[in-house]
Amino acid sequence: MFVHQFFLIIIPLFLLCSLVAQFAMAREIHVSPQGKDSQSGSPQSPYRTLNKATQRLKAGDVVVLHEGRYREGLLLRNLKGTGEKPIVIKAAPNAEVVLDGTDPLENLQWQEYQNGIYRVRLDQPISQLFQYQKMLTPARWPNAHMTDANFFNKRETLRSVSRDSRFGYIIDEDVSNARKPYNKNKILQPMRESRKNKLSLAASGMDATGCVALMNIGSWQNYASYVTSHQPGQAKFFYDKSFKDSGDIADMAKKLGPNGRFANMLEGKYWHNHNYMLEGLACLDVAREYWYDHESRFLYLKPDGGKINTGGYAGKRRSYMLEARNSTHLHVKGIDFHASTFKFFHCTNSSISHAYLQYASHNEFQLGNLGEFPVTRIMNQHSNTSDKLTGNVVRHCTFRYIDGPALRISGRDTLVENCLFHDIQYSCLGFG
């Protein structure tokens, strides 16, 4: 009888000790821009860096980010939470936490250039320019700012391609004398003269040589290439038809050439209204436009009001501020992204929720890349997960003022729920 009582007492004690050990393993780790990595990571003594706070995360751990802007990219690998004990990275209650892909541009020595334009040489390249966290506009023609209400009205912010254009050159359409395009099945009207965009390329007086031409000249997507030759006062310009600076898009562009799949798009058959726009230093002519020349490292800007403001500028230098790889049951909550975004690669049962993504991605024309560029992604295409449900979730998020796809997903069973998308994908470059 004594032996039986002994075991009845020992077994509950053993179970109790196991439960205490399990709960002791789960940690709540705090990080703040005002913290120090030499501290304990407690609420009163938070760490300074995200990398310090996320070292050796285990199932059940919670990382709490306190108010502030974090400019340190975070790479998470092989994190293994569980359904009962996920790994959570979240904003502190009522805190505004931002993962920021820009660096402040301080102590800039601006010099007057010409026509109200200023310039300064940068030590490191940038792909976008911001002032007080608001995006300025890469110099473009026809003029338009992405925050304008009419920005996605192509009749007002793009120019029409003439039916006389061929692979290798564009002729700006004179809409006042436009011919009716031929199609034996149906008649398509050319773009009507816009209410705002009435200035032709010839009348603009610009020399577009060296500019980036963003052209809808085949199928539904656009292609970007450098203008190789153009004379001021002329409606016709030539572009590099090898598309050698366009990465993988160069292979797709081969379909535009003679006997290519989309050749008829430019030969008059199956014609629909094609459009184009230009970006580059030659287009810089209105306030809030800028251009960064990656070869000379000069940043050019036409400031609002005509006078340069020396403060508040920041340049984008990081695309992904959060990258998770080969992880499961990882949840990110209440963390915003400025001029940056996230990528989940081979992750399952993981989520992003209550995030505000502004200017998350943008083309890299100013860095010399005319092809695809980093965008928000959840990718799960490999032998281990291609036939399995991934269980990933994007919930209660806002995506705004983005070039490129707002969210690119591969893999089965990813849920996008109650998200707002607006003002996205103006370049329409090669993303399927």
pLDDT class for 247, splitting at 50, 70, 90? confident
DSSP string of 160-216?
EBPTT-BTTEEEB--GGGPPPPP-SS---PPPPPPSS----HHHH----TTPEEEE-
Q: What is the topology classification, in CATH, of domain 27-101+318-424?
A: Pectate Lyase C-like (2.160.20)
pLDDT digit string (tens) for 186-227?
Answer: 444 444 444 456 789 999 999 999 999 999 887 677 899 999
pLDDT digit string (tens) for 262-315?
Answer: 666 666 555 567 889 999 999 999 999 999 999 999 999 999 888 888 889 999
Alpha-carbon span 268 to 405, nearest angstrom: 30
- Look up residue 26 and give its amino acid: A
Domain limits of the chain?
Answer: 27-101+318-424, 106-314
- Look up residue 261 and give its amino acid: R
pTM, whole model, 2 decimals? Answer: 0.88
Alpha-carbon span 115 to 109, nearest angstrom: 18
CB 284 within 8 A of CB 141: no
The dihedral sign for the CA sequence 230, 292, 130, 225: positive
The dihedral sign for the CA sequence 154, 160, 166, 167: negative
**pLDDT of amino acid 191:** 46
Alpha-carbon span 332 to 335, nearest angstrom: 7
pLDDT digit string (tens) for 384-422?
Answer: 544 577 899 999 999 999 999 999 998 888 999 999 999
Element (H, E) at 224: strand 223-230
Indicate if the pLDDT at residue 86 is higher than 90.
yes
* 99 Cβ contact partners less than 8 Å away, ≥ 6 residues apart: 70, 74, 321, 322, 335, 336, 337, 338, 340
- Compute how many other C-beta atoms are within 10 angstroms of the C-beta atom of residue 355: 25
* Burial (Cβ within 10 Å: 0-12, 13-18, ≥19) of residue 197: buried
